Structure 1
Amino acid sequence: MFQNKTNDVIRRRRRHSSGDRETWSRKVEYFFAGLGYAVGLGNIWRFPYLCYRNGGGAFLVPYFIILIVVGFPMLLLEMGIGQFASLGPVTIWRISPLFKGIGYAIVVILLLMNTYYNVLIAYALFYMFASITNELPWARCNNLWNTENCIESRYGENCLNASVLCVDGPSNKSGAIDASNNSTNLRFLLKTPTEEFFENHLLHMSSGIDQVGSLQWPLIVCLGVSWFTCFMCLYKGIKSMGKAVIFTTIFSYAILAVLLIRGVTLKGSAEGIIYYLKPDFTKLANLQVWGEASAQALASLSLGGGGWITLSSYNKFKNRCDRDAWLVGLGNALTSLFAGFVIFSVLGHMAYKKDVPVDKVTASGPGLAFVAYPEGLALIPFAPFWAVCFFFMMFTVGLDSLFGQVESIASGIIDEYPDYLRPRRKMFTLFLCSVMFFMGMPLVTEGGMYMVTLIDWYILLFSFTIVCLSEIIAIVYVYGYEKFAHDMEMMLGKKPSLYYMVSWRAVTPLSLVVVIILLGACYVPPYYGSYTFPTYAKTIGWFLAFGPVSLIPLTMLWQFCRRVGSVQTLKDMIDDPDTRREVAARMTSPTMDWGPALPENFRKYSVDRNLHTAVANVELGDDDVFGGGTELADLRHGDPDEKVHLVHFKDKVDVEGEQGQGDTSTKEQGQGDASTKEQGQGDASTKEQGQGDVGGKEKGQGDAKGEGQGDKDAVRTAKTGEGDK
């Protein structure tokens, strides 16, 4: 019976697979794809800024604590589940259909995130093209986009013939202004060339989010080039992606190394690096520091985004993903530190040239990458060359992360509809990139930067943390730690270590709950410079934060209604605990086709799964042998002969386990095999034939103890076997 069901599932999996799933050509492709996916633009601009703002070197304490208690365990959890089943972030929830909403939430979150993320990549591309000149266009105030408020050096110089705006009204009085004598009554509107290049030339920024304005065609071209490059690197799936990420990742690190060597040779660079890492341990008492460290640790590893599930799904089944988790996790953390040295060595030189403290030349978020750092590059000899290198590095770093995010969406949808979409993968990838290109069009208008800020502010606030918490609940608590540990052992040859067991079962989920509380407690309304967002924009932001993850409980509700099916069943659930338990098992237990992708691995897994589940459930008085799937509804809903098979299957396991003989799932000796109904030799499920009772298994014949009596005894055995434990 069990072997036939396993073979049926294998045939069905083959029929719906439309060809074998791809695997990485070389292990190095997976490593660089994973490292490139983890190391994104946030490592370049967000981590260094958070580090210096939150205690310098002291910030590393909460950062690495979160990595250890949440980052590494979640990384291996996602890698392991993806590698085991070789499925995308939606179909992977065959493991527990109740939680399929996690996959839907991931796809929606990635659609929103990719929309604005590629706009930032387009900014880098725009800067790179603008740098191909003899003099950087943001080095002077003599350009068409500059205003009368532009000043080439904000600090350390007397401002003559400058326009100022007084609190009581505008004034264009000429002459020397000693602002230090009346600093409380004067507010300067002076801007550097880099600020005006970014806001007036690149963005053509409007006064607020409600002033959308017109499309910026140079940015549209850059956005189109970025999406086209992404498509060309993904149109053959991982075959083309694997080769692209090796180049882009290695090139990114090479440029970072060159920029660091150049940066540390500049005057004042040491002061910048010291400011970056100087520890202030008093900051550790501030909850804001822990909240930002938690958010950065999760965001920098891209946890909860489906990328690790997708990338690992292309691994070979026996790949040592436990080693990969540590290598990629540590590589990502070290890259963040490394990028901080690159950034602050140049900012230190910039502070030296302007004769001001380092904190006067820093900025947060995109402003660090597109305002402060370009201004620092303009002060270096051969500035255009270094600017081209830096912004091309930003372009490749952004693409590396984008590859994993787009592939996660594509894989998640293709694996849901493999018959139709897998043969048309190239066209579907083109369609997907085109959709996200058009979704990004509003973000390259005059009010686009406000939209980018709003999406970035809220989409990273709770979404990925809630997804991570839902994943660990589904896999460790619902599917079961012991089952998952057995799956990992099947791949790795050993069960996860004590560190992972303690983390998955207790430390990581509790830490994620604390992180969510910290993020809520440390919430600050969004702003851009001095601009604060209106109430309706904040409302939209909260919808962006909770809208995608709301698909998780909504899908649970849909699964419940689907499994209940009728009002009568709902009434039975209210009155009968057994019915409640059966419906819950239907929703939470793995489907019949859950397991490894390759038939040989799936067959071995099914044997182990059927054996262990059958014995455990018989001992617990549970009729559900496989623990899920509509194919086994007969086991749950009353075919006595199926229950007979279950009881005698346990008897056979006990006998053969003691004798060390036979295979627990197949009776190859031709002795009244209950799973080979075609032979007509005593299958207990064919009562109509009046042949063979399972009670005669021990005799190795299809003879029953009595044509009718044997069946009754077997049924009685199934009904009373619960009390014989």
Structure 2
Amino acid sequence: MSEYAQWDSKWAFIFAMIGVAIGLGNIWRFSYVVYSNGGGAFFIPYFVAIAVMGIPFLILEYGIGFSFKRSFSEILKKINPKFEFIAWILIFSITIVLMYYMVIISWDMFYIGSSLTFGWGGDTALYFVKNVGGTENLSSFGEFFIPVAICVIISWAALWFISHKSIDKGIGLASKIMIPLVFIIMAAIVVYSLTLPGAFIGIDALIKPNWAGLLDINIWLTAFSQIIFSLGMGEALALTYASYLADNSQLTDNVLFIIASNSSFEIFTAFGVFSILGYMTATSGVPLTEIVSEGTGLIFVVFPKIFNLMGVAGRILAPLFFIAVYFAGMTSSFSFLEVEIGTISAKFNMSRKKTATILCIIGCAGSMIFTCGMSSYLVGIVDSFINQFAILLLVAIQCIIFGWYFGAEKLIPVLNEKSRIKVGSLWVNVIKYVLPVLIVIMWIIGIINLFMSSNSFEITVDVLIMVAVVAVSIIFYKIRTPTNS
């Protein structure tokens, strides 16, 4: 159970936390966000968002997890028994996130195999649609991508194999291997990409500042959203990992190191991504504005097309790239499942191995829904709703609960005891006043945009998810076990 677990070293925790932050979003989202939100000017709201939101909230999560050394639901229940219901809302929200996240990772596993033979051919967009992504046609729901389903089973099995072990022998050891490999592989790719003909075209497009964009509130909101999603704020990931820390840990120092590592990685990677896009522009003559994409379009359509143009270098870089993406995705998956393991095992007094086994079987079954013939479309719908509606709202609620009901000021002695970098009343005021207001504004704007841009099918899926999460959360909240009655 989580209260008895502990990292075997500071570096096991640091690598695991870097694994939380460095995921699919760093590689396929950040560069596009910078490019489409003011270029070089975007870094001003980006670093402001880190200072105002990322650092304060991550410090809060570290302090809460380290102080209580309990699962997320146990912590909320101890503050106020009624708050346990909120914990279950979070648990089942991230359960859904993990289900579709593992499918995206499995797309990547499929592409690792494809990269060995360049099986995607010349029409990479059609290859993605026919083999993993599917279409938006509702009639495609009954079709299934068997190879992707097999990759899903393998990925869930790997996740179980690592996560059912003790925290130091499982996640800790895997993170200490995978995270350095991700850094090494991506560093090699980025350094090589900077030498490509036309690399400067992409870099110039990326960092060319649009200063007028600083007057656009949406760009500032995008910067804050990027930090929330990049650091996994509000999902109890950092809180759970921090609960396994030894008593002599330097909490705030670790926060700054991990955030610096995350930001350095995504900025560094963005230069590599746009160097490669610049190379394609110079080679193919297609304007960069027509090439640049985000998400699945960048990773599974644009990059394979570019690898096709690279000759022998592409044959080497393609497998390495997709392996790096896979490792980055898996290290983030560890943290999602860990939150579930800690909460379920504590609630029902089950062993870690049994809990992990049950959760992985259920999760794998749920992931199969996203291997249907409209896979990419369905993933996009669910991802937008969970992040824009559930997670943002839960971040605001946690600021209120931990800031006001518990009292964030109680954490100051714990946070400052071993750390060289101290916090005080300014940090408390940010948690209590600044963050709740900012996040609620972002949530309202996000919900308006979400529903205004959604069709009837998408809204139906959103409502079904909301009803399911609330209903299951009520059931688990009402269950009383011998140790939780």
**Band the TM-score falls in, shorter-chain normalisation:** over 0.9
The aligned counterpart of 1:39 is 22
The aligned counterpart of 1:537 is 458
Q: CA deviation at 1:497?
A: 2.6
Q: CA deviation at 1:519?
A: 2.3
- Given that 2:106 and 2:152 are in contact with CA atoms closer than 8 Å, whether structure 1 keeps it comes out as yes
Shift in alpha-carbon separation, 1:66–1:224, aligned structure 2, 3 A: same
Of structures 1 and 2, the one scoring higher in RCO (CA 8 A, sep 6+) is: 2
Q: CA deviation at 1:139?
A: 3.7
Selected match of 2:374 from 442, 447, 450: 447
Shift in alpha-carbon separation, 1:550–1:285, aligned structure 2, 3 A: farther
Give yes or no for the alignment of 1:49 onto 2:32: yes
Q: Counterparts of 1:87 and 1:311 in 2: how far apart (Å)?
A: 10
The aligned counterpart of 2:146 is 217
Point out where structure 2 has 5 or more consecutive residues left out of the alignment.
none
The aligned counterpart of 1:114 is 98
Q: Counterparts of 1:287 and 1:494 in 2: how far apart (Å)?
A: 32
Instruction: Give the AA of the match of 2:446.
Output: L
Q: CA deviation at 1:521?
A: 4.9
Shift in alpha-carbon separation, 1:513–1:547, aligned structure 2, 3 A: farther
- Given that 1:38 and 1:332 are in contact with CA atoms closer than 8 Å, whether structure 2 keeps it comes out as yes
Instruction: Give the AA of the match of 1:138.
Output: W
> Aligned residues: percent identity?
26
The aligned counterpart of 2:54 is 71
- Given that 1:34 and 1:311 are in contact with CA atoms closer than 8 Å, whether structure 2 keeps it comes out as yes
The aligned counterpart of 2:84 is 100
Q: Counterparts of 1:524 and 1:451 in 2: how far apart (Å)?
A: 16
CA deviations 1:367-395 (Å, max 9, x no partner) are: 11111122112211322221100001111
Shift in alpha-carbon separation, 1:376–1:220, aligned structure 2, 3 A: same
The aligned counterpart of 1:30 is 13
- Given that 2:140 and 2:372 are in contact with CA atoms closer than 8 Å, whether structure 1 keeps it comes out as no
The aligned counterpart of 1:137 is 119
Give yes or no for the alignment of 1:123 onto 2:107: yes
Selected match of 2:66 from 68, 83, 108: 83
Q: Counterparts of 2:88 and 2:4 in 1: how far apart (Å)?
A: 21
Q: CA deviation at 1:315?
A: 0.4
- Given that 1:291 and 1:515 are in contact with CA atoms closer than 8 Å, whether structure 2 keeps it comes out as yes
Instruction: Give the AA of the match of 2:457.
Output: Y
Selected match of 1:324 from 254, 258, 271: 254
Give yes or no for the alignment of 1:235 onto 2:235: no
Instruction: Give the AA of the match of 1:414.
Output: S
Q: CA deviation at 1:304?
A: 0.8
RMSD over aligned Cα atoms: 2.7
Q: Counterparts of 1:476 and 1:97 in 2: how far apart (Å)?
A: 17
CA deviations 1:462-517 (Å, max 9, x no partner) are: 32221111111111211223433355456769973343123123222222223223
The aligned counterpart of 2:317 is 386
The aligned counterpart of 2:341 is 410
Shift in alpha-carbon separation, 1:209–1:69, aligned structure 2, 3 A: farther
**Bigger Cα Rg:** 1
Instruction: Give the AA of the match of 1:440.
Output: S
Structure 2 counterpart SS, 1:265? coil
Instruction: Give the AA of the match of 1:364.
Output: E
Shift in alpha-carbon separation, 1:213–1:505, aligned structure 2, 3 A: closer
Point out where structure 1 has 5 or more consecutive residues left out of the alignment.
1-16, 141-192, 527-532, 563-592, 594-628, 631-725
CA deviations 1:133-182 (Å, max 9, x no partner) are: 2xx22343xxxxxxxxxxxxxxxxxxxxxxxxxxxxxxxxxxxxxxxxxx
The aligned counterpart of 1:436 is 363
- Aligned pairs (5 A) from 1:274-353: 274-353=204-283
Tell me whether 38-47 or 333-342 shows the greater mean CA deviation: 333-342
Instruction: Give the AA of the match of 2:18.
Output: L
Tell me whether 95-104 or 239-248 shows the greater mean CA deviation: 95-104
Q: Counterparts of 2:53 and 2:265 in 1: how far apart (Å)?
A: 19
Q: CA deviation at 1:322?
A: 0.9
Q: Counterparts of 2:417 and 2:256 in 1: how far apart (Å)?
A: 20
Structure 1 counterpart SS, 2:143? coil
The aligned counterpart of 1:459 is 386
Q: Counterparts of 1:113 and 1:525 in 2: how far apart (Å)?
A: 23
Tell me whether 32-41 or 316-325 shows the greater mean CA deviation: 316-325
Q: Counterparts of 1:447 and 1:519 in 2: how far apart (Å)?
A: 24
Tell me whether 469-478 or 29-38 shows the greater mean CA deviation: 469-478
Structure 2 counterpart SS, 1:119? helix
Instruction: Give the AA of the match of 2:461.
Output: I
Q: CA deviation at 1:254?
A: 0.6
Tell me whether 500-509 or 251-260 shows the greater mean CA deviation: 500-509
Count how many residue pairs are aligned between Structure 1 and Structure 2.
479
- Given that 2:20 and 2:332 are in contact with CA atoms closer than 8 Å, whether structure 1 keeps it comes out as yes
Selected match of 1:476 from 400, 403, 413: 403
Q: Counterparts of 2:263 and 2:467 in 1: how far apart (Å)?
A: 28
Q: Counterparts of 1:448 and 1:98 in 2: how far apart (Å)?
A: 37
CA deviations 1:672-707 (Å, max 9, x no partner) are: xxxxxxxxxxxxxxxxxxxxxxxxxxxxxxxxxxxx
Q: Counterparts of 1:63 and 1:519 in 2: how far apart (Å)?
A: 18
Q: CA deviation at 1:548?
A: 4.3
The aligned counterpart of 1:265 is 195
Instruction: Give the AA of the match of 2:462.
Output: G
- Given that 1:318 and 1:492 are in contact with CA atoms closer than 8 Å, whether structure 2 keeps it comes out as no
Structure 2 counterpart SS, 1:298? helix
Q: Counterparts of 1:487 and 1:493 in 2: how far apart (Å)?
A: 12
Name the one with the larger helix percent.
2
**TM-score, normalised on structure 2?**
0.92
Q: CA deviation at 1:207?
A: 4.8
Give yes or no for the alignment of 1:362 onto 2:281: no
The aligned counterpart of 1:578 is none
Shift in alpha-carbon separation, 1:236–1:372, aligned structure 2, 3 A: same
Q: Counterparts of 1:129 and 1:433 in 2: how far apart (Å)?
A: 24
**TM-score, normalised on structure 1?**
0.63
Shift in alpha-carbon separation, 1:103–1:293, aligned structure 2, 3 A: same
